[in-house]
Amino acid sequence: MAEPESKRVKTEYELTYWPDIPGRGEVVRLLFEEAGVPYADTAKGEKAVRTVLSYMAAENVGDETNPPLFAPPVLKHGDLVINQLPNILLYLAPKLGLGPASGDGVYHLNAIALTILDGFLNEVHETHHPIATAQYYDDQKEEAKKRAKAFREERLPKYLGYVQRVLDGKKSGGGKWLYGGELTYVDLVLFQCLDGTKFAFPKTVENLKKGGEYDGVFKLYDAVKERPNIKAYLESEKRVDYADGIWRHYPELEEDEE
Amino acid sequence: MAEPESKRVKTEYELTYWPDIPGRGEVVRLLFEEAGVPYADTAKGEKAVRTVLSYMAAENVGDETNPPLFAPPVLKHGDLVINQLPNILLYLAPKLGLGPASGDGVYHLNAIALTILDGFLNEVHETHHPIATAQYYDDQKEEAKKRAKAFREERLPKYLGYVQRVLDGKKSGGGKWLYGGELTYVDLVLFQCLDGTKFAFPKTVENLKKGGEYDGVFKLYDAVKERPNIKAYLESEKRVDYADGIWRHYPELEEDEE
């Protein structure tokens, strides 16, 4: 079932995601930006929402080459169309020089990516929508306060501790980057997910940073931010501002009640 | 960074998971059982809990070969130690003859597996623990009722509809199996996850089945259950009964209140 990759070498990458929020799509963008590889981004076009909805439509059963998809982000590369963020990262990493193409490193990096996405993306989304994704935040605000408290006090420190352990381990190769002594895509995943979590819970993250237990994690965050391509991207108009997406800032979710 | 796989050919696989619940570990077990490949299972040993906890310990930073882990299941194969269920499946599938080793199929199957695990495993866990994993169910029962209602009415039909779309698509190869016209690991993932969801929400799943919209999904479930190796395993004492794990049955989570 192997397919020669060469036929896609000159094909453009196309990312599809919701417009006007960074979200899961932003993690994919950072890989392209760091690698300096051009990509089309349907979120920036006029048909952004329509493109997302056509992929998710109940009558869409895929095509000759691809099974149907559940939700964005979606990556199109030649005739291949795939979704699921960790899966898109897995596909892109070796092609963009941000991870190995085979061997143990593939699975080590995939495990690290999945864990960071669980902690700093999926669980952050749950803090403002603990009852139902399809309902408004205001209709689940009281439950959100409880979930956010557990996230701030238990889950976030636990995930930060995990990332610090990865940096402290021998396989990080010195503790500057997460794996193998050089920047890989999981460092970019960590940067975006921690950046979003900082936006959502600024006081909480600042206090955890001051505590000093996760210095390596915050140094890594700063190091990614200073990568020339990333820095230029973050300062450009291409970078999407946080809004009502996965990483939202509701001040009441950082307040402890009596 | 590629590593010759041959050196691990004769090494035994070792699965580590919590004892006495099927959970995420059960999905891994089904792959070994279908393939007829022997594996050690620390959950069945005396040191089961201790083994899990040693992997998750705050002072465990991994070793020369592996980064540290966040949570079980854990797969040990030779000197490789990896975690994260979708990652373990990705590693095992080609070795057990349950998925391609390279090419587009790797990413198609990974996306299907991730989506099924999101819908029928992760979201089921959220129904009884919508506020805090570390707190008792009884302390979040009211919130659980609300979350479970949204799961039963919106999320579960949406995920069943997705699986049916995959079966209806050309890439399923006829609609008996999810991908490529033959059984792959994602069919086993679907079986275990739907089996657990049936245990947790028996009336809901029965009603959805009766509706007739997802006939292909339930046929696939039955077809996996009748695979000789799977059938023998399910009838054996090795199969772990459902209990207070991911898939739990609380009758009140199926009841609509005024």
The pairing of beta strand B13-16 with beta strand A13-16? unpaired
CA dihedral B178→B182→B183→B187, nearest 10 degrees, is 0
pLDDT at B2: 44
Identity of the amino acid at A5: E
Look at B143 and A130 and tell me if their CB atoms are within 8 Å. Answer: yes
| Bond prior to B73 in cis (omega within 30° of 0) | yes
d(C-alpha B156, C-alpha A205), whole Å = 34
Cross-chain CB nearest to A105 (options B1, B146, B162): B1
The length of chain A is 258
Chain B interface disruption, residue of A127, A131, A185, most B CBs within 10 A: A131
pLDDT per residue as tens digits for the range B222-246: 999 999 999 999 999 999 999 999 9
Q: Is the pLDDT of residue B13 over 60?
A: yes
Cross-chain CB nearest to A170 (options B62, B87, B118): B62
- For range B101-124, the mean pLDDT: 98
d(C-alpha A31, C-alpha A100), whole Å = 14
Residue A1's contacts (CB-CB under 8 Å, 6 or more residues apart) are: B100, B102, B103, B104, B105, B180
Q: In chain A, which residues have their Cβ closer than 8 Å to the Cβ of B159? A: 70
ipTM value: 0.96
d(C-alpha B138, C-alpha B141), whole Å = 5
CB atoms within 10 A of CB A197: 25
Q: Is the pLDDT of residue B258 over 60?
A: no
Q: In chain A, which residues have their Cβ closer than 8 Å to the Cβ of B116? A: none
Give the dihedral sign, CA B159/A31/A123/B25.
Answer: positive
Look at B169 and A61 and tell me if their CB atoms are within 8 Å. Answer: yes
Closest residue in chain A to residue B3, using alpha carbons only: A103
Q: In chain A, which residues have their Cβ closer than 8 Å to the Cβ of B100? A: 1-2
| Phi/psi of residue A39, nearest 5 degrees | -150, 145
d(C-alpha A150, C-alpha B131), whole Å = 7
Q: In chain A, which residues have their Cβ closer than 8 Å to the Cβ of B168? A: 61
Closest residue in chain B to residue A5, using alpha carbons only: B103
Residue A13's contacts (CB-CB under 8 Å, 6 or more residues apart) are: A32, A37, A38, A39, A40, A75, A76, A77, A92
Identity of the amino acid at A246: I
pLDDT per residue as tens digits for the range A78-106: 999 999 999 999 999 999 999 999 999 99
- Residue B48, token pair as written in the block: 């089961």
- A230 touches A35 (CB < 8 A): no
Chain A interface disruption, residue of B8, B64, B70, most A CBs within 10 A: B70
Look at A67 and B100 and tell me if their CB atoms are within 8 Å. Answer: no
Q: Is the pLDDT of residue B7 over 60?
A: no
d(C-alpha A191, C-alpha B201), whole Å = 39
Q: If DSSP codes are grouped into helix, strand and coil, which group holds residue A27?
A: helix
Q: In what order do the strands lie in the sheet with A80-83?
A: A39-41, A13-16, A74-77, A80-83
| Cross-strand pairs, A80 | A77
d(C-alpha B83, C-alpha A241), whole Å = 34
pTM: 0.96
- Residue A167, token pair as written in the block: 């940096």
d(C-alpha A249, C-alpha A195), whole Å = 12
d(C-alpha A26, C-alpha A194), whole Å = 13
Q: What is the pLDDT along chain A (258 residues), one digit of tens a residue?
A: 344 455 555 679 999 999 999 999 999 999 999 999 999 999 999 999 999 999 999 999 999 999 999 999 999 999 999 999 999 999 999 999 999 999 999 999 999 999 999 999 999 999 999 999 999 999 999 999 999 999 999 999 999 999 999 999 999 999 999 999 999 999 999 999 999 999 999 999 999 999 999 999 999 999 999 999 999 999 999 999 999 999 999 999 999 865
Q: Is the pLDDT of residue B5 over 60?
A: no
pLDDT at B9: 56
Q: What is the DSSP string of A44-93?
A: GSTTHHHHHHHHH-TT----SS----SSS-EEEETTEEEE-HHHHHHHHH
Look at A147 and B162 and tell me if their CB atoms are within 8 Å. Answer: no
Q: Among B113, B153, B147, B116, which residue's Cα sits nearest to residue B129?
A: B147
CATH architecture of A104-227: Up-down Bundle (1.20)
Residue B55, class by beta-carbon neighbours within 10 Å (0-12 exposed, 13-18 middle, 19+ buried)?
buried
d(C-alpha A224, C-alpha B68), whole Å = 22
pLDDT at B134: 93
pLDDT at B256: 80
Chains A, B: CB pairs < 8 Å: 189
Q: In chain A, which residues have their Cβ closer than 8 Å to the Cβ of B111? A: 67, 69, 82-84, 87
Look at A107 and B80 and tell me if their CB atoms are within 8 Å. Answer: yes
Q: Which helix (H) or strand (E) holds B91?
A: helix B85-95
Chain B interface disruption, residue of A80, A87, A114, most B CBs within 10 A: A87
d(C-alpha B191, C-alpha A116), whole Å = 27
Name the pLDDT band for B156 (thresholds 50, 70, 90).
very high
